């Protein structure tokens, strides 16, 4: 067997910056003042915050040491996948840092922002083409904000027909934010269950879809990593009773260039540029959740909209049926630049991204299905879902196994989600992992299962190798220590 | 996690299919979650309870339980009005894990129709249901 990735070695302790330094120490030399002295207004003058005085090397070592305690996608396989953060090519960071983009200010007039506006306008077109939708807003700040925008568009559409509706159908395999977004918009979410194959049955939707229901929110591929294969029939049922179909595109990484979302009955779709289109975001942002719609919903898109006339680009508010403004300025432009660059640098190869993502997930599923319990044994999309059912006899849980996986040098996958699988272990390797790395991951997981059988106690204590062992997640949740 | 035969299932409460228990005392009904439910959820870190005076129809969501694994909804076993809530749970949600049938009670209610209690399960029926699950 190959040498395992995980090992132990010397790691350096590091205190908080406030516990470091000495009064008078300095890490930066300011240039000589070259403007006239001007006293501060007394009302804003006073003692500054109590920052520590630090030298340059103290600061550099502080952050370098902290970084060695961390595990990230640049360190190794990170099976949380695009849901949290896939590997993002470095060129996209570089382009986003170009001075013309990085120095752009949202208060500059359109005449001085033509480059940024053209980038945004073109990106709208790329996303429309990639999804077979007709019009796009880049404004929403992230996925759930896109969902809210979609629900506001649903409402504006039904309102324009003179008959607002009160309910939204949300399946149990949709993203958890879907019912919340619907409820925030004043709709009552109606939960429906997926069938024994892990997808929605048209009959289930036919039974609940009525004239009071504004439409359905469907995550495709769903949170089990399965393609909702009945989506066209479901869309027909919903449309026949006057409803609209919303697709949560958070799992777009599986279907880029393969499924024309607009061609299978979807009316509104949001994308997560930070998941699928190359922005580092694990840890909280910033994100970007563009919303794509069909022509008949275009009048309701948020304003301002990026428009073009005679080769000049500008922001336009002139859309009277719009749901209004959703963001302080115009969304998170830095994320858009990365997506624009990602799409341009891959072009038709975007399809291959999805093919490899799906192939890698199926490879792991096939190789591990005799080791771990696989609740839905059928071809998956970009992620596969196992459970801890085979380990029940040893009283080893999902949490124990993924903690032990850390000792082997891998970040834990998503656990206890989706909720429809008891003790779920959701693995999303993404497109960038090589067969060699996948094989080491698979071998490591098999070893974890072997450890569980031979020495369950060791798993209850896992992990053993990192700087910090099993963290007390219960105390952290019950008594959070919030500092700033 | 516990085996089904290790579950603490007292005889003096009635169980619902959603794993809430109900215990009748002096015309009031005390409601909580079963040992099975707390064991499945794992360490509970936050509990959302209704306000006193709130009314629910059988099957309504009357509160939520948040554990380190998931957030679960609690469904009311009978149509009723809330008379009291266990305020100790706010600071000590672990009571539901440690003592689900006594100190970890969730709410006291006044039933609309006491005969609804007849539809709940006794210990033996509930145990049979648990044995049948996931098999």
Of chain B residues 92-111, which have a CB less than 8 A from chain A?
93-94
Strands (E) in A158-311, as ranges, are 167-171, 188-192, 213-219, 244-249, 268-271, 291-293, 305-309
B134 touches chain A (CB under 8 A): yes
Residues A327, A398, single domain; the answer is no
Closest CA to A216 of A268, A175, A169: A169
Q: Are strands A167-171 and A188-192 parallel, antiparallel or unpaired?
A: parallel
Closest residue of A to B45, CA-based? Answer: A478
pLDDT at B133: 78
DSSP letters for A419-469: TTSTT-EEE---TT--HHHHHHHHHHHHHHHHHHHH-HHHHHH---SSSS-
- CATH number assigned to the domain comprising residue B26: 2.40.50.100
Residues A393, A272, single domain; the answer is no
CA distances from A396 to A186, A393, A457 (A): 43, 8, 9
- CATH number assigned to the domain comprising residue A263: 3.40.640.10
Q: Is the peptide bond before A418 cis (omega within 30 degrees of 0)?
A: yes
Closest CA to B74 of B103, B99, B105, B111: B105
Structural domain includes residue B130:
no
Residues A342, A403, single domain; the answer is no
Closest CA to A353 of A252, A273, A250: A252
Per residue in A12-56, pLDDT (tens digit) is: 999 999 999 899 999 888 899 999 999 889 998 888 888 899 999
Give, as one character, the DSSP assignment of residue A373: B
- Which residues in B lie closer than 8 A to residue A473 (C-beta atoms)? 43, 68
Q: Is the ipTM of this structure higher than 0.85?
A: no
Asked whether the beta carbons of A216 and A228 are under 8 A apart, the reply is no
Strand partners, B66: B46, B71
Structural domain includes residue B34:
yes
Structural domain includes residue A54:
no
Q: Indicate the Cα dihedral angle A90, A94, A96, A100, nearest 10°.
A: -170
Give, as one character, the DSSP assignment of residue A73: T
Task: Identify the burial level of B70 via C-beta atoms within 10 angstroms of its C-beta, where 0-12 means exposed, 13-18 middle and 19 or more buried.
Answer: middle
The reply to whether residue B45 touches residue A478, judged by beta carbons under 8 angstroms, is: yes
Domain count, chain B: 1
Half-sphere exposure of A339 (CA within 13 A, CB side): 30
- Coil vs helix vs strand at A413: coil
The reply to whether residue A478 touches residue B94, judged by beta carbons under 8 angstroms, is: yes
Question: Does A336 have pLDDT greater than 60?
Answer: yes
Closest residue of B to A396, CA-based? Answer: B1
B69 touches chain A (CB under 8 A): yes
Residues B117 and A462: their CA atoms lie apart, in Å, by: 45
Q: A405 to chain B, minimum CA–CA distance in Å?
A: 18
Sheet containing strand A425-427, edge to edge, reads A384-386, A425-427, A414-415
Residues 6+ apart with CB under 8 A from A84: A78, A282, A414
- A24: alpha, beta or left, given left = phi > 0 and alpha = psi -120 to 50? left
Q: In this complex, which of A397, A415, A419 lies closest to B1 when CB atoms are compared?
A: A397
Residues A421 and A14: their CA atoms lie apart, in Å, by: 40
Structure tokens at B96: 């539901």
Structure tokens at B129: 């249901």
Question: Does A346 have pLDDT greater than 70?
Answer: yes
Residues A355, A315, single domain; the answer is no
Per residue in A377-424, pLDDT (tens digit) is: 999 999 999 999 999 989 999 999 999 999 999 999 999 988 889 999
Q: What percent of chain A has pLDDT over 70?
A: 99
Give 3-state DSSP helix, strand, coil % of chain B, rounded to 5.
25, 35, 40
Structural domain includes residue B125:
no
Asked whether the beta carbons of B70 and B44 are under 8 A apart, the reply is no
Question: Does A2 have pLDDT greater than 80?
Answer: no
Structural domain includes residue B46:
yes
Strand partners, A215: A168, A244
The reply to whether residue B70 touches residue A416, judged by beta carbons under 8 angstroms, is: yes
The domain in which residue A320 lies consists of: 95-348
Residues A169 and A191: their CA atoms lie apart, in Å, by: 6
Residues A388 and B1: their CA atoms lie apart, in Å, by: 12
Instruction: Report the 10 Å Cβ neighbour count for A15.
Output: 9
Residues A99, A227, single domain; the answer is yes
Residues A252, A379, single domain; the answer is no
Residues 6+ apart with CB under 8 A from B116: B58, B77, B78, B79
Structural domain includes residue B54:
yes
CA distances from A314 to A102, A111, A124, A181, B132 (A): 19, 8, 14, 30, 64
Structural domain includes residue A475:
no
Residues A41 and A52: their CA atoms lie apart, in Å, by: 26
Q: In this complex, which of A395, A417, A473 lies closest to B68 when CB atoms are compared?
A: A473
| CA A184 to chain CA mean position, Å | 20
pLDDT at A248: 96
Structural domain includes residue B80:
yes
Closest CA to A277 of A181, A101, A143, A153: A143
Strand partners, B110: B81
Strands (E) in A66-134, as ranges, are none
- A423: alpha, beta or left, given left = phi > 0 and alpha = psi -120 to 50? left
Structural domain includes residue B127:
no
Residues A172, A296, single domain; the answer is yes
Structural domain includes residue A357:
yes
- CATH number assigned to the domain comprising residue A366: 3.90.1150.10
Per residue in B69-88, pLDDT (tens digit) is: 888 899 999 999 999 999 99
B91 touches chain A (CB under 8 A): no
Give, as one character, the DSSP assignment of residue A238: H
Residues A368, A331, single domain; the answer is no
pLDDT at A477: 86
Domain count, chain A: 2
- Higher pLDDT among residues A441 and A3, named by residue: A441
- Which residues in A lie closer than 8 A to residue B43 (C-beta atoms)? 473-474, 477
Structural domain includes residue A191:
yes
Q: What is chain B's pLDDT, residue by residue, as a tens digit (135 residues)?
A: 788 888 999 999 999 999 999 999 888 999 999 999 999 999 999 999 999 999 999 999 999 999 988 888 999 999 999 999 999 999 999 999 999 999 999 999 999 999 999 999 999 999 999 998 754
Closest residue of A to B91, CA-based? Answer: A478
Residues A169, A215, single domain; the answer is yes
Q: Are strands B107-111 and B28-33 parallel, antiparallel or unpaired?
A: antiparallel
The reply to whether residue B134 touches residue A397, judged by beta carbons under 8 angstroms, is: no
Among the three residues A327, A348, A369, which one is the final residue of a domain in this structure?
A: A348
CA–CA–CA angle B40, B45, B46 (5° rounding): 105
Q: Indicate the Cα dihedral angle A179, A180, A181, A184, nearest 10°.
A: 120
Residues B65 and B73: their CA atoms lie apart, in Å, by: 6
pLDDT at B135: 47
- Coil vs helix vs strand at B80: strand
Q: Over chain A, what is the mean pLDDT?
A: 94
The domain in which residue B31 lies consists of: 17-112
User: What confidence tier does A1 reach under pLDDT thresholds 50, 70, 90?
Assistant: low
Structural domain includes residue B85:
yes
pLDDT at A84: 82
Residues B32 and B76: their CA atoms lie apart, in Å, by: 10
Residues A453, A378, single domain; the answer is yes
- A430: alpha, beta or left, given left = phi > 0 and alpha = psi -120 to 50? left
Terminal CA-CA length for chain B: 17
Among the three residues A320, A348, A376, which one is the final residue of a domain in this structure?
A: A348
């Amino acid at each position: 067997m190959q040498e395992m990735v995980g090992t132990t070695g010397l790691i350096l302790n590091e205190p908080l910056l406030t516990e470091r330094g000495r009064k008078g120490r300095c890490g930066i030399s300011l240039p000589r003042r070259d403007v006239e002295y001007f006293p501060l207004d007394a009302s804003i003058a006073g003692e500054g915050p109590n920052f520590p005085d630090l030298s340059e090397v103290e600061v550099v070592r502080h952050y370098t040491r902290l970084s060695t305690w961390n595990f990230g996608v640049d360190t190794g396989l990170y099976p949380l996948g695009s849901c949290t953060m896939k590997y993002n090519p470095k060129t996209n960071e570089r382009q986003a840092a170009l001075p013309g983009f990085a120095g752009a200010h949202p208060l500059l007039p359109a005449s001085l922002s033509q480059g940024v506006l053209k980038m945004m306008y073109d990106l709208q077109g790329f996303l429309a083409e990639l999804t077979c939708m007709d019009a796009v807003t880049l404004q929403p700040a992230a996925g759930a904000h896109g969902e809210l925008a979609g629900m506001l568009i649903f409402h504006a559409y039904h309102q324009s027909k003179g008959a607002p509706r009160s309910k939204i159908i949300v399946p149990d395999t949709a993203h958890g934010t879907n019912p919340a977004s619907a409820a925030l918009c004043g709709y009552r979410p109606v939960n429906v269950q997926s069938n024994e194959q892990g997808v929605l049955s048209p009959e289930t939707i036919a039974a609940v879809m009525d004239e009071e229901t504004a439409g359905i929110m469907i995550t495709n591929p769903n949170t089990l990593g399965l393609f909702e294969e009945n989506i066209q029939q479901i869309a027909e049922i919903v449309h026949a009773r006057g409803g609209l179909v919303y697709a949560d595109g958070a799992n777009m990484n599986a279907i880029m260039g393969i499924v024309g979302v607009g061609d299978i009955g979807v009316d509104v779709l949001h994308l997560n540029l930070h998941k699928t289109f190359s922005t580092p975001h694990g840890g909280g942002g910033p994100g970007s959740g563009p919303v794509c719609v069909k022509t008949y919903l275009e009048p309701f898109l948020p304003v301002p909209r990026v428009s073009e006339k005679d080769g000049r680009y500008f922001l336009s508010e002139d859309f009277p049926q719009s749901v209004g403004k959703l963001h302080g300025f115009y969304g998170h432009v830095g994320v858009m630049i990365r997506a624009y660059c990602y799409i341009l640098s891959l072009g038709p190869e975007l399809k291959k991204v999805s093919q490899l993502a799906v192939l890698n997930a199926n490879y792991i599923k096939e190789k591990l299905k005799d080791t771990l319990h696989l609740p839905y044994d059928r071809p998956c999309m970009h992620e596969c879902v196992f459970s801890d059912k085979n380990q029940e006899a040893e009283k080893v849980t999902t949490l124990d196994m993924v903690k032990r996986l850390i000792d082997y040098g891998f970040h834990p996958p998503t656990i206890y989600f989706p909720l429809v699988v008891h003790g779920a272990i959701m693995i999303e390797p993404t497109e960038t992992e090589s067969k060699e790395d996948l094989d080491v991951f698979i071998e490591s997981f098999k070893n974890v299962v072997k450890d569980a059988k031979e020495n369950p106690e060791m798993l209850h204590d896992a992990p053993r190798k990192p700087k910090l062992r099993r963290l007390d997640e219960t105390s952290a949740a019950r008594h959070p220590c919030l500092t700033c | 996690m516990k085996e089904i035969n290790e579950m603490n299932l007292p005889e003096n409460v009635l169980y619902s299919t959603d794993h809430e228990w109900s215990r009748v005392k002096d015309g009031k009904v005390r409601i909580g979650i079963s040992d099975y439910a707390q064991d499945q959820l794992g360490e509970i870190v936050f509990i959302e309870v209704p306000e006193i005076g709130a009314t629910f129809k059988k099957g309504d969501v009357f509160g939520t339980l948040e554990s380190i694994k998931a957030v679960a909804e609690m469904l009311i076993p009978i149509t009723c009005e809330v008379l009291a809530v266990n305020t100790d749970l706010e600071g000590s949600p672990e009571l539901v894990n440690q003592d689900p049938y006594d100190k970890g009670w969730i709410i006291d209610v006044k039933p609309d129709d006491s005969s609804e209690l007849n539809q709940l399960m006794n210990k033996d029926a509930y145990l049979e249901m648990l044995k049948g699950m996931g098999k």
